[in-house]
A = this chain, B = another copy of it.
Amino acid sequence: MNLTLLMPLGAAAALIFAYVRAKKVLRESEGNELMQKIAASIRQGANAYLKRQYSGVAKFFAVVFVLMLALSFMGQMEIFVPFAFVTGGFFSALSGYIGMKIATSSNARTAFAASQSLNSGLKVAFSAGSVMGFTVVGLGLLDTSLWFFFLKYIVYAGLPEAEQAMKISALMLTFGMGASMMALFARVGGGIFTKAADVGADLVGKVEAGIPEDDPRNPAVIADNVGDNVGDVAGMGADLYESYAGARLSASALAVSAGFGMVGMAVPMALAAIGIFASIIGTFFVKTGEDASQRSLLGSLRKGTYIASAIVAVASYFLIQYAFGGQQTGLFIAILVGLLAGNLIGYFTEYYTSDTYKPTQKLAESSETGAATIIISGLSLGMMSTAVPVVIIGIAVMASFACSGGIQNFEAGLFGIGLSAVGMLSTLGITLATDAYGPVADNAGGIAEMSGMEESVRDRTDALDSLGNTTAATGKGFAIGSAALTALALVAAYVDQCKAIKPDLVLDLSITNPSVLVGLFVGSVLPFVFAAMTMSSVGKAAMSIVTEVRRQFREIRGLMEGTAEPDYHTCVDLCTKSAQQEILAPSLMAIIVPLVVGFTLGVNGVTGMLMGATASGFILAIMMSNSGGAWDNAKKYIESGHLGGKGSDNHKAAVVGDTVGDPFKDTSGPSINILIKLLSTVSIVFAALIVNFSLNL
C-alpha cells in the first residue's frame, strides 16, 4: 500500500466525523427564547469580530502575497510559495471559524442539556469540542494532501522519485508560514479581545458596581462571552492547526535530508492519519453512567485520550516496520518518546496549576499577607515550574536523537526529533476535543446566569468548566512541548534548506561564533519584547472598555434597575477595534526581525536567533501560562470556601493575582509558542533572499 494515500483518507475521515458530530449537536434544543436570544447575541458578536479580523488579515496577507510574488519573479522564491502561504492561512482561519461556529451554536444547547443532567451537558459540550478538534486535523491533512498530490502528479510528475521527494519536501516546508501568521493573528487578536472584555467587565461590573459575574446588566458581558469564543476557541483552533502543520512538514523535510526519500517523507503524514483514526475510536469511549462524579467524568475523558494514545503507539510500530522494512525500529521509539513527553509535561502543568496539589494551595495561602505576596509567589511558582518541562524536553531530544541513529547519521537523528513532535501531536483530534469543550461549558454557564436558569444548572456548567481547566492543562502541555520540538526541527530544516539553496555556503554554527552568539541574544529577547507588547495591548484595550462601561452605567437610565438594556454592541465593537490595532506591531516584528538579523548576521546569526527564541520562548511561555493558571485556580480555591472564602481580604488579594494572570495565560503565554515557529517559518521562506544578499556570510 502506498503510505501517502493515508493522508487523504485520514483527512476525509476526520472531516466526515466532524460533520456527523456537528449535525448531532445541532439537533439538540437551544432552550427557551431568552437563551436563544442571548446565544444569538454572542454568535453575532463573534461573527462580527471574525469578519473584521479576517478582512484585516486578508489585507495583510494580500500585501505579503504580492511581495512574495515579486520575490518569486526575481528568482528568490519558488513560485508556489506565495500561493501555499495563502492556502495555509486560509485553512488555519477556516479551522478557527468552524470551531467558533460550532462553539457559538453549542453554548445554549449545553446549558439546556445541563438543565437535564450533568452528563447530557458533558456530551453536548464534548461533541462540540470534537467538531473543532477533528476539523483542525482534517483540514490540516487536507491542505497537505492537495499540495502533495498536485506537486507529485502534476508539477514534478516527470522526475525520478528521489528527486521528487527532495523538491516536494523542501517546497512544502515553506508552507508553514501562512498557517503560523494566521495563528499569530488569531491567538493574539483573540487573546487581546477576550482579556480586555474580561478585565473590563470585572473591574467595573464586579468591583465598582458590585454586580455578579455574567450579570446581564453589565454592558461588557456579551463581549466577555464573545471573547471566550474568539480567543479560546477560534484562536486555539488556528494555533493548533499551525502546530500540527509545522510538526509534520518539518519532520518530512528532515526525513528527506536524512536520505529516507519519499517513504520517509510519507511517514509523518501517515502517522498523523493513524492518529486521526485512533482519536475517532477514542471518542467513543467518552461516556459515563448517569450518576457520574466529577472524578469519573475526568476519568472518562482521560480514557478516551489514553486509548487513542495506546492505539497510536501500537500502530506506529507497524507503520515504521512497514515503511522501513524493519530497519529503523529506533524511529518507533522516537514516536513513543514524543507521546510520553507530551503526557508528562501535561501532568506537571496540572501539578503546578491545579488546586488539588500543593503549589497552588500554597499560593492561595500567600494571599494571607496581601496582594504583593501572592504576586511574588505566583511569579516564583511559574518560574520554578519551567525546570521540569525543560528536563523532559531535553531528555526527549537526546533520546529521540540517539535512538534514531543520530550518532552515526546526524540527519537521521534530527528526523527522529521531528518525528517525536509528530508523535506528540498525533492524537490532537481527541486532545483538542477535550480541550475545546471547556470554553463551550464556560459560555453555557454565562448563558445560564444571564437567562436566570436555576442555580443547579450553573453548578453543573461550573463543574464542566472546572473539569475543562484540568484537561486544558494537559492540552497546554502538548501544545508547548510540541512547539519546542517542532521549532527545533524547523531550525534544523532551515539550515538544510540554506545549504540546498547554495551548496557552497560555508556555515559556522558554533555557539562561540559571534554572529551565532549575537543572534542568540537577539532571539532570546524577542519573546520578552513580544510578551511586553501583548500585555500592554491588553492593558490599553481593557482601559477603553472600562471607560465605555462606566459611561453606560452613568448615562443609560434604568440600567442598574434592569428596566433598560445596555448597549452590548459598542463594547464588542471596541474590543474588536483594539484587537485589530494591536496585533499589527507584534506580527510585523516577527517578520522584520528575522530579515534584519539575516541581512546583518547571515545564516549563522539567524540560526542563533531561532535557537535563542525557542529556548527563551519555551521557558517564558510555560512560566506565564503556569503562573496565570495557578493564580486563577488559587482564586477559585479561595472562592470554594478556603482561607476565608469569597469577599475576604484573601479573596481580594487573589483577585489581583488572577487579573495579572489573565494576559499571562490567555494572551501572551500561548502566543509565544506561535511566535517561535513563525520566526522559523519566516526564516525558511526568505532563506534565499538572505543567502543571496546578506552582508555577512
Contacts and interface: CB of A to CB of B under 8 A. Distances in A.
A323 interface: no
Interface string A3-22: 00000000000000000000
Most-contacted residue by chain B among A369, A417, A509, A512 (CB, 10 A): A512
A619 interface: yes
A393 interface: yes
A386 B529 contact: yes
A697 interface: no
B539 A377 contact: yes
A318 interface: no
Given A203-B370, A386-B528, A380 B607 contact: no
A524 B615 contact: yes
Contacts of A417: 514
How extensive is the interface on chain A, given as a class? 35 or more
A235 B555 CA distance: 58
A537 to B, nearest CB: 9
Interface stretch (A97-105, A300-308, A394-402): A394-402
B532 A384 contact: yes
A408 to B, nearest CB: 14
A293 interface: no
Given A380-B539, A518-B394, A512 B491 contact: yes
Contact of A372 (B366, B510, B656): B656
Contacts of A386: 525, 528-529
Nearest to A388: B525
A393 B514 contact: no
Interface in A513-554: 514-518, 520-522, 524-525, 528-529, 531-533, 535-536, 538-539, 542-543, 546
A608 interface: yes
A65 interface: no
A367 interface: no
A611 B511 contact: yes
Interface in A633-684: 655-656, 659-660, 663
Interface in A70-101: none
A511 B514 contact: no
Contacts of A380: 531-532, 535-536, 539
Contact of A394 (B381, B382, B414, B522): B522
A349 interface: no
A375 B631 CA distance: 14
Contacts of A607: 511-512
A372 to B, nearest CB: 4
Nearest to A488: B517
Nearest to A659: B372
B509 A511 contact: yes
A271 interface: no
A521 B372 contact: no
Interface in A483-499: 484, 488, 491-492, 495
A618 interface: yes
A456 to B, nearest CB: 32
Interface string A403-415: 0001000000110
Contact of A660 (B372, B391, B546): B372
A383 interface: yes
A524 B376 contact: no
Contacts of A220: none
Contacts of A495: 512
Contacts of A615: 520-521, 524, 612, 615-616
A384 B526 CA distance: 10
A535 B491 contact: no
Contacts of A377: 536, 539
Contacts of A533: 384
Interface in A465-495: 484, 488, 491-492, 495
Most-contacted residue by chain B among A516, A535, A623 (CB, 10 A): A535
A595 interface: no
A646 B373 CA distance: 21
Most-contacted residue by chain B among A372, A386, A484, A659 (CB, 10 A): A372
A157 interface: no
6 contacts: A375-B375, A376-B539, A376-B663, A384-B533, A511-B611, A512-B607
Given A207-B370, A369-B546, A376-B536, 4 more contacts: A383-B531, A394-B518, A524-B524, A615-B616
